[in-house]
Structure 1
Amino acid sequence: MTAEPSTRRHFDPIGLLMVMGSAISFALTPTLNRLAYDAGSDVSSLVTVRFVVTVPALLVAILILGRSLKIGMRGWRNSAIVGVLMALTAYGYIAAVAYIPVSLSSLIFYTFPIIVGLAATFVNNEPLTPLRLTMLAAAFAGLVLALGVTFDTLDPRGLGFAFLGAVCAAGSVMWSGRTLGSHDTVVTTFHMMAVACVLAVLAQLWEGPLRLPQTGLGWIGFFGNAAFYCLGLVGFFAGIARVGAIPASMVSNVEPIVSILFAMTMLGEWLSWLQWTGVALVIAAVLAMAESDRRRAQQLSRA
């Protein structure tokens, strides 16, 4: 059973709030990662601990809620596919930073909502109206301004890794929204993360011992990264099941904006007026998309 097409969904503010909360949780992780980096950790160690912490946390949540881990062979297979995509997303996005500026890698990665929007038109039969296309373009333009992208250094390896992350992120959104809408979100996310965790641990064994932070603040960043990633995952996939792939990905555009604001607070990274223009453009696009979905749902309910 596949997820119901978004054209048949009612406007769901709870689902949108789930996705928004997920975006905020994910947005906190870059600054937390920076705290861990400054205390002596590295990318591979942060990715590994993120997955290793998330899997038992989800298992505890499942036990507390009294839910079964069984999702059937088809459900497990689809969860495993998303888990592989999530692992590739993490390594692609993080590896890109080693070759190109962070702002450029972020810009390329956050093309994934546009990839979802275009792909969903053909795969999930979700309408990509002129208004939606305009809002997707506006949000992307806002990201260009807000992230302060410079194109001075364009290493093909970095571009390739960043695009790998974007494509795999879009794939995980599409696949989960299409195949896992009828399953328990926490349970399917557990199976996704278990697969990603195995891949991360194998990669860490190849890389060598974990590099642990050397300060208290670094430990906060080290484990805070994993905790907020776990919360973000559950909220995001729960939101997809309720509102559909395109609205979920659209609302997720606030993630880099919140990340900028959090970095300003914690790291003293201030924005120019041009970047603030981008912030406003992205927020306006997200709100316009949400209002468009609400009106369309009302029209469908009257039909």
Structure 2
Amino acid sequence: MRDQPAQLLGLLFALAAATAYGCNISFARLASFEGLPGTALVFYRVFAVAAFMVVAVPLLGLRMMVPPAERGAIAVLGLGTVVVGVAYLSAVAFIPVTVAVVIFYTFPILIVLASPFVEGTRPSAARLGLALAAFVGVVMVVGPVFRSLDPRGLTLAAMASLGATVQFFAAARCRHAETAAKVFWVHVIVLPATAIIGFATGAMVPPAALLAAPVAVVMTIGGYVVGFVLQLVALARAPAVAAGLAFCLEPVVAALTSTAVLGERLTPGQIAGGALVLAVIVTNVILEHRRCRSAAATGDPARSRASLT
């Protein structure tokens, strides 16, 4: 049972992590202007995390063992993470950050729609209504400028959203593994996978090439590493649902950063569409939070755990 001060501190860390992640994507687009592919940026940022884990594991005495029954789920989680990282950072080389972010953040809705097929759960009318509202919001964002958007960017952003959906369902199947172990083994999968993709597509660049956009690279890699570490700290103190609500700040920060750093502009209709999608995501997390509290009040731990996953 977490105490209230610890939860509050966890939420503050979650907000800081969301801010770091939100800045990350805009600087990835800035780096793409200098010819640095998203795949290469993913490789180098994962390399930075791997280096951090090599130091942290022996220093903190972290356990890296994963229960045999959950190793397959960890592998799927790693592959989903590869898709998210490579597709999301690559998408912004072809479409504005704001459009990529809105398309990517449809993954909570995809989870609602896919849950009957993956987990055998029946979505409520409220959930289906939220899914419809999110779809309308995406159409509002993409529709006005659809002809001027590169299909490659739209496809990559959609792939990232699908990858995030896979991540969610895979993570729900490895509840017993320690968080540090999940992080370690996921990045063990991501590092060689991104290297293979990079070399196969000609997107891998030598470390010296990163000097073409040093500020953008530092902000992209640093934003991911800082956000990643703060996310772990946050989830150790705050419930997943409450932290999830805080992470809804990420697309807002990404939109604001893209305006400040990249000079991107949105039409009023696109702003309204993005706000609608964000409102749907926030509402969805709030519903989960209420369900969790209701389950805890009625003494149903199984229902409470299910609502947290």
Please give the range of the TM-score, normalised by the shorter of the 2 chains: 0.7 to 0.9
Amino acid in structure 2 at the alignment position of 1:64: L
Structure 2 partner of 1:5: none
Moved more, 20-29 or 91-100: 91-100
Q: Which residue of 1 aligns with 2:56?
A: 61
Of the three residues 264, 268, 271, the one matched with 2:263 is 268
Which amino acid counterpart does residue 150 of structure 1 have in structure 2?
V
Letter in 2 for 1:297: C
The worse-fitting range, judged by mean Cα deviation, of 55-64 and 147-156 is 147-156
Unaligned runs of 5+ in 1: 1-11
1:93, 1:109 within 8 Å by CA — same for their partners in 2?
Answer: yes
**Which of 206-215 and 98-107 deviates more?**
98-107
Question: Are 1:19 and 1:252, in contact at CA under 8 Å, matched by a contact in 2?
Answer: yes
Letter in 2 for 1:62: V
26, 29, 34: which one aligns with 2:29: 34
2:276 equivalent in structure 1: 281
Residue in structure 2 matching 1:258, options 253, 258, 266:
253
Residue equivalent to 1:192: 186
**How far apart, CA to CA, are the structure 1 residues paired with 2:274 and 2:105?**
14
Which whole-Å deviations, capped at 9, do the CAs of 1:10-60 have from their partners, x for residues lacking one? xx8888777655543322112221333344533332122122112112333
Amino acid of the structure 1 residue aligned with 2:223: F
Post-superposition Cα deviations, 1:185-223, rounded to whole Å, max 9, x if no partner, equal 1221111011110111233344254262446xx323213
Write the letter of the residue equivalent to 2:27.
L
**Which of 188, 196, 199 pairs up with 1:202?**
196
- TM-score of the superposition, structure 2-length normalised? 0.73
How far is the alpha carbon of 1:260 from its aligned partner? 0.6
Residue 259 (structure 1) shift: 0.5
Q: Is the 8 A contact 1:93 1:105 kept in 2?
A: yes
Quick one: which amino acid aligns to residue 184 of structure 1?
Answer: E
Correspondence for 1:3: none
1:79 aligns with 2:64: no
Deviations 1:133-175 (A, max 9, x none): 3334334444554577522157766555444332222111111
1:292 aligns with 2:277: no
Distance 2:94 2:35 in 1: 20
Give the Cα separation in 2 of the matches to 1:193 and 1:149. 38
Normalized against structure 1, the TM-score is what?
Answer: 0.74
Aligned residue runs from structure 1 range 208-247, under 5 A: 209-210=205-206, 212-214=209-211, 218-233=213-228, 235=231, 242-243=239-240
Match of 2:302 in 1: none
- Contact 1:54 1:227 (8 Å CA) reproduced: no
Superposition deviation, residue 263 in structure 1? 1.7
Q: Tell me: CA distance 1:135–1:255, structure 2 relative to 1, closer, same or farther (3 Å).
A: farther
Q: Deviations over 1:76-116 (max 9, x none)?
A: 44322211221123333445556667665555433322211
Q: Which amino acid aligns with 2:209?
A: L
In 1, Cα distance between equivalents of 2:132 and 2:14 = 20
Residue of structure 2 in register with 1:7 after alignment: none
Alpha-carbon distance change, 230 to 119 in structure 1, aligned in 2, over 3 angstroms:
farther
Q: Aligned equivalents of 2:246 and 2:128: distance in 1?
A: 14
Please list every run of 5 or more consecutive structure 2 residues that lacks an aligned counterpart in the other structure: 1-6, 299-309
User: 1:273 corresponds to which letter in structure 2?
Assistant: P
Take 2:101 and 2:170, find their aligned partners in 1: how far apart are those partners? Answer: 22
- Aligned length, in residue pairs: 287
Q: How does 1:166-181 map to 2 (within 5 A)?
A: 166-176=161-171, 178-181=172-175
**2: CA distance between counterparts of 1:159 and 1:51?**
24
The 2-side partners of 1:57 and 1:154 are apart by 38
Identity %: 26
* 1:67 CA drift (Å): 0.9
- Matched AA of 1:199: A
Where does residue 24 of structure 1 map in the other structure?
19
